[in-house]
Amino acid sequence: MAACCTHPLDLTKIRMQTQGIQRLSILRVIQMSVSEYGVFRGLFIGISASVMRQMSYSLVRLGSYEAIKQKLSGDRRASTVKLLSAAALAGGLGGVAGNPADIILVRMTSDSTRPPEQRYNYKHAFDGLMKLVKEEGYKGLTRGLTPNTTRAVLMNMSQVGSYDYFKHSLLGKPVPWFGYQFQDNLVLHTVASCAAGTVATTVCAPADVIRSRVMAHSGEEGMLQILNQSLRKEGPRFLFKGWTPAFMRLGPNTVLLFVFMEQLKEAWRASHSS
C-alpha cells in the first residue's frame, strides 16, 4: 500500500542515482519520464517490481523483526541494543530475500536513461525475472547482494529500530506549548515514523546509491570497480546523490508503512479478541 503511493518518487530517486555525471534536477527527471511515456506510465514504470520487492523484502524484514524482537526480549520491553540487533538481523534476511526483485526494480525504473540499444525492456516484474535468469543465470539473482544487504541492515536499524525507539521514548511525554501528551495513537505513529524516515534516509544514502549503480549494470564490473569509477569521476558527493527525492519518498513511505501497519495490527487484534 505504501509503495504504490510513493512509487513515482522511488522511480525519480533511482534515475538520479544512476544518471552518472549528469546534473539533472528532480523536476527535469520527472519531466523526461512524463514526456517519453505519458503521465501515468511515466510515473509508474516498474510498479510491478516495486510490489514484488515489498512482498519479499519488506515481508521478511518486518515479519521476522517482530519475531526476533520477541525472542530477544521475552515479555519485557526490549532495550535499544536488542531493538537494533533484531532490526539488523531481520534487515539482512530481508535484503537477501528481496535482492532479485530489487534488481528488476532498479533496471525497470532506470531503463529510460540508457541508450535504446542498451535497454532491458522488461514488460513486467515476472518477465524481468525470467529474462534475468535466462541471460545471466542464477548468479545474476545475486548481483549487488553485498551493498543491497548492507543497505537492508542499515535501513531496518535506522527505520524500524528507530521507529520503535522514538515511539516508546515519546509515549506519555508532553508536547511543549500544546498541552498535549503523546498516546499510542495516529499522532504518535506519525511523529515517530517522520523521525525514523529522516534518520533512515541519511544513514542509508551511500549504500543505496552504490546498490542502484551495481544493479543497473549487467557487465563484469564489480562493486569496488563501480565505486572507484564513480569516486574518480564525481567525487564523494555522489554517495548522497538523490538524497532529496530519497527523503521525499522514504519520509512519506515510512509514515504510510507504519501507520498502515499499526492500523492493520489493531484490526487483527480486534478481530481475534472478538
Q: For residues 270 and 274, what is the distance between their CA atoms, to the nearest angstrom? A: 6
Q: Which range marks the domain in which residue 106 is found?
A: 2-273
Residue partners of 194: CB distance under 8 A and separation at least 6: 251, 254, 255
Residue found by looking up cell 516484474 in the block = 125
Per-residue pLDDT tens for 93-126? 999 999 999 999 989 988 877 888 888 999 999 9
Q: How many structural domains comprise the chain?
A: 1
CB-side neighbour CA atoms (13 Å) of 90: 28
Dihedral angle at the C-alpha atoms of 11, 14, 19, 25, nearest 10 degrees?
Answer: 60
State the CATH number of the domain containing residue 225. Answer: 1.50.40.10
31-76 pLDDT, tens digit per residue, is 877 887 788 888 898 999 999 999 999 999 999 998 998 888 877 7
Coil, helix or strand for 274?
Answer: coil
What is the full DSSP assignment across 166-203?
HHHHHTTPEETTTTEE--TTHHHHHHHHHHHHHHHHHH
For 41, list phi and psi in degrees, rounded to 5: -65, -35
pLDDT at res. 21: 53
pTM value is: 0.75
